[in-house]
Protein backbone atom coordinates (compact mmCIF):
# COMPACT_ATOMS: atom_id res chain seq x y z
CA UNK A 1 0.00 0.00 0.00
CA UNK A 2 1.55 3.28 -1.12
CA UNK A 3 1.97 6.31 1.12
CA UNK A 4 -1.29 8.19 1.49
CA UNK A 5 -3.37 5.26 0.25
CA UNK A 6 -6.15 4.24 2.61
CA UNK A 7 -6.46 0.72 3.92
CA UNK A 8 -9.46 -1.05 2.36
CA UNK A 9 -11.58 -0.79 5.49
CA UNK A 10 -10.78 2.90 5.89
CA UNK A 11 -11.53 3.52 2.21
CA UNK A 12 -14.94 1.92 2.60
CA UNK A 13 -15.63 3.89 5.77
CA UNK A 14 -14.77 7.16 3.99
CA UNK A 15 -17.17 6.31 1.16
CA UNK A 16 -19.88 5.26 3.62
CA UNK A 17 -19.59 8.56 5.47
CA UNK A 18 -19.44 10.72 2.33
CA UNK A 19 -22.95 12.00 3.09
CA UNK A 20 -21.48 13.94 6.01
CA UNK A 21 -19.31 16.04 3.70
CA UNK A 22 -22.13 16.45 1.19
CA UNK A 23 -24.55 17.71 3.82
CA UNK A 24 -21.98 20.07 5.34
CA UNK A 25 -21.31 21.56 1.89
CA UNK A 26 -25.06 21.93 1.40
CA UNK A 27 -25.35 23.96 4.61
CA UNK A 28 -22.41 26.19 3.67
CA UNK A 29 -23.91 26.74 0.21
CA UNK A 30 -27.34 27.55 1.61
CA UNK A 31 -25.81 30.08 4.02
CA UNK A 32 -23.75 31.68 1.26
CA UNK A 33 -20.47 31.33 3.17
CA UNK A 34 -18.28 31.44 0.05
CA UNK A 35 -19.89 34.71 -1.05
CA UNK A 36 -19.08 36.22 2.34
CA UNK A 37 -15.43 35.18 1.99
CA UNK A 38 -14.97 36.79 -1.41
CA UNK A 39 -13.10 39.77 0.04
CA UNK A 40 -10.89 37.68 2.31
CA UNK A 41 -10.85 35.63 5.55
CA UNK A 42 -13.41 36.34 8.25
CA UNK A 43 -13.95 35.05 11.76
CA UNK A 44 -16.59 32.51 12.60
CA UNK A 45 -18.26 35.11 14.82
CA UNK A 46 -18.41 37.60 11.95
CA UNK A 47 -19.80 34.98 9.57
CA UNK A 48 -22.36 33.91 12.16
CA UNK A 49 -23.65 37.47 12.50
CA UNK A 50 -23.94 37.73 8.71
CA UNK A 51 -25.80 34.43 8.39
CA UNK A 52 -27.91 34.48 11.54
CA UNK A 53 -26.32 31.33 12.93
CA UNK A 54 -24.83 30.16 16.22
CA UNK A 55 -21.16 31.16 16.14
CA UNK A 56 -19.61 28.20 18.02
CA UNK A 57 -21.59 25.74 15.93
CA UNK A 58 -20.79 27.51 12.67
CA UNK A 59 -17.13 27.29 13.66
CA UNK A 60 -17.49 23.52 13.97
CA UNK A 61 -19.03 23.32 10.49
CA UNK A 62 -16.29 25.45 8.92
CA UNK A 63 -13.55 23.56 10.74
CA UNK A 64 -14.86 20.28 9.33
CA UNK A 65 -15.07 21.69 5.80
CA UNK A 66 -11.55 23.11 6.13
CA UNK A 67 -10.34 19.59 6.87
CA UNK A 68 -11.50 18.44 3.42
CA UNK A 69 -10.22 21.48 1.54
CA UNK A 70 -13.42 23.47 0.99
CA UNK A 71 -12.26 26.30 3.28
CA UNK A 72 -9.01 26.95 5.13
CA UNK A 73 -8.62 27.85 8.81
CA UNK A 74 -5.89 30.34 9.59
CA UNK A 75 -3.19 29.19 11.98
CA UNK A 76 -4.31 31.54 14.74
CA UNK A 77 -7.72 29.89 14.70
CA UNK A 78 -11.17 31.32 14.33
CA UNK A 79 -10.75 32.95 10.89
CA UNK A 80 -11.60 31.13 7.70
CA UNK A 81 -10.79 31.80 4.07
CA UNK A 82 -11.76 30.25 0.78
CA UNK A 83 -9.82 27.76 -1.34
CA UNK A 84 -9.83 26.97 -5.07
CA UNK A 85 -12.39 24.27 -4.26
CA UNK A 86 -14.54 26.52 -2.12
CA UNK A 87 -14.58 29.24 -4.79
CA UNK A 88 -17.05 27.10 -6.75
CA UNK A 89 -19.59 27.67 -3.97
CA UNK A 90 -19.62 31.39 -4.81
CA UNK A 91 -22.81 32.45 -6.53
CA UNK A 92 -21.04 34.45 -9.24
CA UNK A 93 -18.15 32.04 -9.87
CA UNK A 94 -17.95 30.74 -13.45
CA UNK A 95 -19.28 27.19 -13.27
CA UNK A 96 -20.63 27.77 -9.75
CA UNK A 97 -21.90 24.67 -7.97
CA UNK A 98 -23.70 26.59 -5.23
CA UNK A 99 -27.09 25.87 -6.82
CA UNK A 100 -26.45 22.13 -7.00
CA UNK A 101 -25.04 21.98 -3.47
CA UNK A 102 -28.15 23.80 -2.24
CA UNK A 103 -30.51 21.51 -4.14
CA UNK A 104 -29.05 18.15 -3.06
CA UNK A 105 -29.89 18.94 0.56
CA UNK A 106 -33.56 19.63 -0.14
CA UNK A 107 -35.75 17.10 1.70
CA UNK A 108 -37.48 15.91 -1.49
CA UNK A 109 -34.13 15.03 -3.08
CA UNK A 110 -32.45 13.67 0.01
CA UNK A 111 -35.33 11.42 1.04
CA UNK A 112 -35.65 10.05 -2.49
CA UNK A 113 -32.04 8.90 -2.40
CA UNK A 114 -32.79 7.49 1.05
CA UNK A 115 -35.24 5.17 -0.70
CA UNK A 116 -32.78 3.83 -3.28
CA UNK A 117 -33.41 0.36 -1.86
CA UNK A 118 -37.06 0.67 -2.93
CA UNK A 119 -35.98 1.49 -6.48
CA UNK A 120 -33.53 -1.41 -6.60
CA UNK A 121 -36.11 -3.86 -5.29
CA UNK A 122 -38.94 -2.74 -7.57
CA UNK A 123 -37.28 -1.08 -10.55
CA UNK A 124 -39.48 1.96 -9.92
CA UNK A 125 -38.47 5.54 -9.03
CA UNK A 126 -38.53 6.47 -5.37
CA UNK A 127 -39.63 10.08 -5.86
CA UNK A 128 -43.29 9.48 -6.85
CA UNK A 129 -43.58 6.71 -4.27
CA UNK A 130 -42.67 9.22 -1.56
CA UNK A 131 -44.33 12.37 -2.88
CA UNK A 132 -47.35 11.05 -4.74
CA UNK A 133 -46.40 12.73 -8.02
CA UNK A 134 -43.52 12.93 -10.47
CA UNK A 135 -40.67 15.34 -9.88
CA UNK A 136 -41.81 17.88 -12.50
CA UNK A 137 -45.35 18.21 -11.11
CA UNK A 138 -43.86 18.44 -7.61
CA UNK A 139 -41.56 21.30 -8.62
CA UNK A 140 -44.42 23.11 -10.35
CA UNK A 141 -46.36 23.00 -7.07
CA UNK A 142 -43.34 24.15 -5.00
CA UNK A 143 -42.01 27.30 -6.68
CA UNK A 144 -39.30 27.96 -4.08
CA UNK A 145 -37.81 24.52 -4.57
CA UNK A 146 -38.30 24.85 -8.33
CA UNK A 147 -36.17 28.01 -8.29
CA UNK A 148 -33.43 26.13 -6.40
CA UNK A 149 -33.63 23.30 -8.94
CA UNK A 150 -33.39 25.73 -11.87
CA UNK A 151 -30.32 27.35 -10.33
CA UNK A 152 -28.78 23.91 -9.82
CA UNK A 153 -29.34 22.96 -13.47
CA UNK A 154 -27.96 26.29 -14.69
CA UNK A 155 -24.85 25.87 -12.57
CA UNK A 156 -24.23 22.31 -13.72
CA UNK A 157 -24.65 23.33 -17.36
CA UNK A 158 -22.35 26.34 -17.13
CA UNK A 159 -19.16 24.32 -17.24
CA UNK A 160 -20.43 22.21 -20.11
CA UNK A 161 -21.49 24.97 -22.50
CA UNK A 162 -18.00 26.25 -23.28
CA UNK A 163 -16.66 22.70 -23.59
CA UNK A 164 -19.32 21.82 -26.16
CA UNK A 165 -18.71 24.99 -28.14
CA UNK A 166 -14.98 24.29 -28.23
CA UNK A 167 -15.27 20.57 -28.98
CA UNK A 168 -17.40 20.60 -32.11
CA UNK A 169 -17.09 22.44 -35.43
CA UNK A 170 -20.39 24.27 -35.92
CA UNK A 171 -19.03 26.44 -38.74
CA UNK A 172 -20.41 24.22 -41.52
CA UNK A 173 -23.97 24.42 -40.13
CA UNK A 174 -26.42 26.95 -41.56
CA UNK A 175 -29.41 26.43 -39.21
CA UNK A 176 -29.23 24.73 -35.82
CA UNK A 177 -32.33 23.78 -33.81
CA UNK A 178 -31.82 23.45 -30.05
CA UNK A 179 -34.54 20.97 -29.09
CA UNK A 180 -35.62 21.31 -25.47
CA UNK A 181 -33.13 24.15 -25.19
CA UNK A 182 -34.61 25.91 -22.16
CA UNK A 183 -33.76 29.60 -22.11
CA UNK A 184 -31.15 29.06 -24.81
CA UNK A 185 -27.86 29.22 -22.92
CA UNK A 186 -26.01 26.66 -25.03
CA UNK A 187 -27.51 27.92 -28.30
CA UNK A 188 -26.57 31.49 -27.36
CA UNK A 189 -22.95 30.44 -26.81
CA UNK A 190 -22.84 28.56 -30.11
CA UNK A 191 -24.30 31.52 -32.01
CA UNK A 192 -21.88 33.93 -30.34
CA UNK A 193 -18.87 31.98 -31.60
CA UNK A 194 -20.31 31.24 -35.07
CA UNK A 195 -21.38 34.60 -36.52
CA UNK A 196 -23.03 33.27 -39.70
CA UNK A 197 -24.99 30.50 -37.99
CA UNK A 198 -28.74 30.90 -37.49
CA UNK A 199 -30.55 29.23 -34.61
CA UNK A 200 -33.99 28.08 -33.60
CA UNK A 201 -34.68 27.67 -29.89
CA UNK A 202 -37.46 25.14 -29.29
CA UNK A 203 -39.09 24.27 -25.97
CA UNK A 204 -42.40 24.48 -24.13
CA UNK A 205 -44.01 27.95 -24.01
CA UNK A 206 -43.39 28.63 -20.31
CA UNK A 207 -39.75 27.51 -20.65
CA UNK A 208 -38.76 29.78 -23.55
CA UNK A 209 -40.58 32.77 -22.07
CA UNK A 210 -37.37 34.26 -20.73
CA UNK A 211 -35.19 33.48 -23.73
CA UNK A 212 -35.55 36.77 -25.60
CA UNK A 213 -33.70 38.75 -22.92
CA UNK A 214 -30.80 36.31 -22.85
CA UNK A 215 -30.49 36.28 -26.63
CA UNK A 216 -30.66 40.07 -26.78
CA UNK A 217 -28.00 40.54 -24.08
CA UNK A 218 -25.70 38.24 -26.04
CA UNK A 219 -26.33 40.18 -29.26
CA UNK A 220 -27.62 37.15 -31.17
CA UNK A 221 -31.39 37.74 -31.09
CA UNK A 222 -31.43 38.77 -34.76
CA UNK A 223 -30.11 35.32 -35.71
CA UNK A 224 -32.31 33.22 -33.46
CA UNK A 225 -36.00 32.37 -33.75
CA UNK A 226 -37.84 31.24 -30.63
CA UNK A 227 -40.48 28.57 -31.25
CA UNK A 228 -42.64 26.87 -28.61
CA UNK A 229 -44.14 23.42 -28.71
CA UNK A 230 -43.74 19.80 -27.61
CA UNK A 231 -41.07 17.53 -29.04
CA UNK A 232 -43.58 14.69 -28.86
CA UNK A 233 -45.73 16.44 -31.46
CA UNK A 234 -43.20 17.94 -33.88
CA UNK A 235 -39.98 19.95 -34.00
CA UNK A 236 -39.18 22.82 -36.39
CA UNK A 237 -38.36 21.43 -39.82
CA UNK A 238 -35.76 21.95 -42.48
CA UNK A 239 -32.66 22.67 -40.38
CA UNK A 240 -29.37 20.95 -41.08
CA UNK A 241 -28.53 20.22 -37.43
CA UNK A 242 -30.55 19.32 -34.33
CA UNK A 243 -29.02 19.60 -30.86
CA UNK A 244 -30.50 17.97 -27.74
CA UNK A 245 -28.63 18.49 -24.48
CA UNK A 246 -29.54 16.32 -21.49
CA UNK A 247 -32.93 15.47 -22.99
CA UNK A 248 -32.74 11.80 -23.91
CA UNK A 249 -31.48 10.72 -20.47
CA UNK A 250 -34.81 11.85 -18.97
CA UNK A 251 -36.75 9.18 -20.84
CA UNK A 252 -37.05 5.44 -21.33
CA UNK A 253 -36.17 3.93 -24.71
CA UNK A 254 -39.69 4.11 -26.15
CA UNK A 255 -40.03 7.82 -25.40
CA UNK A 256 -36.44 8.57 -26.42
CA UNK A 257 -36.97 6.92 -29.80
CA UNK A 258 -40.19 8.88 -30.28
CA UNK A 259 -38.33 12.17 -29.67
CA UNK A 260 -35.55 11.18 -32.06
CA UNK A 261 -38.08 10.16 -34.71
CA UNK A 262 -39.61 13.63 -34.55
CA UNK A 263 -36.12 15.00 -35.25
CA UNK A 264 -35.73 12.49 -38.10
CA UNK A 265 -38.97 13.67 -39.67
CA UNK A 266 -37.79 17.29 -39.54
CA UNK A 267 -34.10 17.10 -40.38
CA UNK A 268 -32.55 17.82 -43.79
CA UNK A 269 -31.30 14.64 -45.47
CA UNK A 270 -27.72 15.91 -45.18
CA UNK A 271 -28.20 17.05 -41.58
CA UNK A 272 -26.58 16.14 -38.28
CA UNK A 273 -28.14 14.99 -35.03
CA UNK A 274 -26.11 16.03 -31.96
CA UNK A 275 -26.90 14.72 -28.51
CA UNK A 276 -25.00 16.08 -25.51
CA UNK A 277 -25.19 13.39 -22.86
CA UNK A 278 -23.20 11.30 -20.43
CA UNK A 279 -21.89 8.06 -21.93
CA UNK A 280 -21.35 5.22 -19.49
CA UNK A 281 -17.85 3.85 -19.96
CA UNK A 282 -16.92 0.17 -19.61
CA UNK A 283 -14.62 -0.98 -16.84
CA UNK A 284 -14.29 -0.16 -13.17
CA UNK A 285 -12.73 3.30 -13.25
CA UNK A 286 -14.62 6.13 -11.48
CA UNK A 287 -17.41 7.30 -13.78
CA UNK A 288 -19.81 10.07 -12.83
CA UNK A 289 -22.28 8.73 -15.38
CA UNK A 290 -22.83 5.55 -13.36
CA UNK A 291 -23.97 7.46 -10.30
CA UNK A 292 -25.94 9.91 -12.42
CA UNK A 293 -27.70 6.81 -13.71
CA UNK A 294 -28.71 5.92 -10.14
CA UNK A 295 -29.93 9.49 -9.66
CA UNK A 296 -32.11 9.12 -12.75
CA UNK A 297 -33.44 5.87 -11.31
CA UNK A 298 -34.33 7.39 -7.95
CA UNK A 299 -35.81 10.63 -9.29
CA UNK A 300 -37.25 9.70 -12.69
CA UNK A 301 -36.43 6.17 -13.65
CA UNK A 302 -38.29 2.95 -13.79
CA UNK A 303 -38.58 -0.27 -15.66
CA UNK A 304 -38.87 -0.13 -19.42
CA UNK A 305 -42.49 0.04 -20.50
CA UNK A 306 -44.56 0.66 -23.57
CA UNK A 307 -45.10 4.39 -24.02
CA UNK A 308 -48.38 5.81 -25.21
CA UNK A 309 -48.14 9.21 -26.84
CA UNK A 310 -51.74 9.83 -27.88
CA UNK A 311 -52.65 11.80 -24.76
CA UNK A 312 -49.83 14.27 -24.24
CA UNK A 313 -51.49 15.68 -21.12
CA UNK A 314 -50.92 12.34 -19.41
CA UNK A 315 -47.23 12.09 -20.26
CA UNK A 316 -44.77 12.13 -17.39
CA UNK A 317 -41.06 11.48 -17.47
CA UNK A 318 -40.46 7.81 -16.80
CA UNK A 319 -37.50 5.53 -17.26
CA UNK A 320 -34.77 8.15 -17.03
CA UNK A 321 -31.30 6.62 -17.34
CA UNK A 322 -27.78 7.15 -18.60
CA UNK A 323 -26.66 5.01 -21.52
CA UNK A 324 -23.64 3.31 -23.05
CA UNK A 325 -22.30 3.92 -26.55
CA UNK A 326 -24.03 0.71 -27.68
CA UNK A 327 -27.32 1.96 -26.24
CA UNK A 328 -27.07 5.19 -28.22
CA UNK A 329 -26.18 3.32 -31.40
CA UNK A 330 -29.31 1.20 -30.97
CA UNK A 331 -31.56 4.21 -30.27
CA UNK A 332 -30.20 6.00 -33.33
CA UNK A 333 -30.81 2.99 -35.56
CA UNK A 334 -34.39 2.57 -34.37
CA UNK A 335 -35.11 6.26 -34.93
CA UNK A 336 -33.65 6.35 -38.47
CA UNK A 337 -30.14 7.63 -37.78
CA UNK A 338 -26.63 6.21 -37.97
CA UNK A 339 -24.26 7.02 -35.15
CA UNK A 340 -21.10 8.49 -36.69
CA UNK A 341 -19.00 9.78 -33.81
CA UNK A 342 -18.78 10.14 -30.04
CA UNK A 343 -16.73 13.22 -29.18
CA UNK A 344 -15.10 13.93 -25.83
CA UNK A 345 -15.58 17.44 -24.46
CA UNK A 346 -13.19 17.37 -21.52
CA UNK A 347 -16.19 17.10 -19.19
CA UNK A 348 -18.31 14.07 -18.30
CA UNK A 349 -20.51 14.99 -21.29
CA UNK A 350 -19.96 13.72 -24.81
CA UNK A 351 -21.29 14.93 -28.17
CA UNK A 352 -22.95 11.97 -29.88
CA UNK A 353 -23.18 12.68 -33.60
CA UNK A 354 -25.51 10.95 -36.01
CA UNK A 355 -26.78 11.33 -39.56
CA UNK A 356 -30.14 10.39 -41.10
CA UNK A 357 -30.41 7.14 -43.06
Let me know if residue 79 belongs to a domain.
yes
pLDDT tens-digit map of 17-54: 999 999 999 999 999 999 999 999 999 999 999 999 99
Q: Give the angle 233-238-240 at the CA atoms, nearest 5°.
A: 115
Give the active site residue among 26, 118, 131, 249.
249
Asked if residue 232 belongs to a domain, the reply is yes
d(CA 253, CA 230): 18
Residue 1 within a domain: no
Please state, in angstroms and rounded to a whole number, the distance separating the CA atoms of residues 48 and 31: 10
CA 91 to CA 24: how far, in whole Å?
A: 17
Per-residue pLDDT tens digits for 168-189? 999 999 999 999 998 899 999 9
**Rounded-to-integer distance, Cα 273 and Cα 7, Å:** 47
What average pLDDT does the segment 231-253 reach? 94
Q: What is the mean pLDDT of the segment spanning 265-272? A: 95
304 contact partners, CB below 8 Å, separation of at least 6: 252, 253, 254, 319
Q: Are residues 64 and 145 in the same domain?
A: no
Both 41 and 162 in a single domain? no
Residue 3 lies inside a defined structural domain of this protein: no
Q: Note the pLDDT tens digit of each residue in 80-106.
A: 999 999 999 999 998 899 999 999 999
Assign 134 a pLDDT band (cuts: 50, 70, 90): confident
pLDDT tens, residue by residue, 65-87: 999 999 999 877 679 999 999 99
Domain containing 343: what range? Answer: 112-356
Claim to verify: residue 129 and residue 98 sit in the same structural domain: no
- Residue 99 sits in the same domain as residue 117: no
Mean pLDDT of the chain: 91
Residue 127, exposed/middle/buried by CB under 10 A (0-12, 13-18, 19+)?
buried
Whether residue 200 is found in the same domain as residue 281: yes
In the listed set 59, 77, 105, which residue is the last one of a domain according to the structure? 105
Residues 323 and 350 placed together within one structural domain of the fold: yes
pTM comes to: 0.85
Distance, CA of 274 to CA of 267 (rounded, Å) = 12
Longest dimension (CA), the chain: 68
Task: Write the CB contacts of 143 (distance below 8 Å, at least 6 apart in sequence).
Answer: none
Region 243-250 average pLDDT: 94
81 in a domain, yes or no? yes
Phi, psi at 267, each rounded to 5°: -75, 150
Query: Are 21 and 89 a contacting pair, CB within 8 Å?
Result: no
Question: What is the torsional sign of CA 328, 334, 335, 339?
Answer: positive
CB 278, CB 245: distance < 8 Å: no
> How many separate domains does the chain show?
2
CATH number (domain holding residue 201)? 3.40.50.150
Percent of the chain with pLDDT over 90: 75
pLDDT at 319: 74
Q: Which residues pair with 272 in a beta bridge?
A: 241
249 catalytic per annotation: yes
Q: Quickly list H helices, the chain.
A: 8-16, 18-31, 33-36, 44-51, 55-66, 98-103, 107-113, 116-122, 126-131, 135-141, 143-167, 185-193, 205-208, 211-217, 253-266, 288-299, 325-335
Mean pLDDT over 259-278 rounds to 96
Give percent above pLDDT 70 in the chain. 94
Q: Are 197 and 223 in contact (CB under 8 A)?
A: yes
CB 125 within 8 A of CB 302: yes
Residues 249, 278 contacting (CB under 8 angstroms) = yes
Q: In Å, how far are 25, 239, 298 from 250, measured between CA atoms?
A: 27, 24, 12
- Mean pLDDT over 318-330 rounds to 91
Query: Do the bridges between strand 175-179 and strand 241-245 make them parallel or antiparallel, or are there none, so unpaired?
Result: parallel
pLDDT number for residue 69: 96
Helices 55-66/44-51 angle, 10° precision: 120
| Among candidate residues 44, 75, 105, the one where a domain is terminated | 105
Beta partners for 353? 274, 341
Amino acid sequence: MSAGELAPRDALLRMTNAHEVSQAIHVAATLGIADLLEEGPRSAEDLARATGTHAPTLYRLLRALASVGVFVEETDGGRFGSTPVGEYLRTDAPGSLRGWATYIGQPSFRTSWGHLLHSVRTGEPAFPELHGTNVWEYLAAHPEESAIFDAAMTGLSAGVVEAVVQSYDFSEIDVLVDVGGGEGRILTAILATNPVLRGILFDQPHVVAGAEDLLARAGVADRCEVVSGSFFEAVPGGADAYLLKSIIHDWDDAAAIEILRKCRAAIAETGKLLLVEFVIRPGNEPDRAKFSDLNMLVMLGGRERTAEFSDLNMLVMLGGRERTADDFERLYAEAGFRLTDIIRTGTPFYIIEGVPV
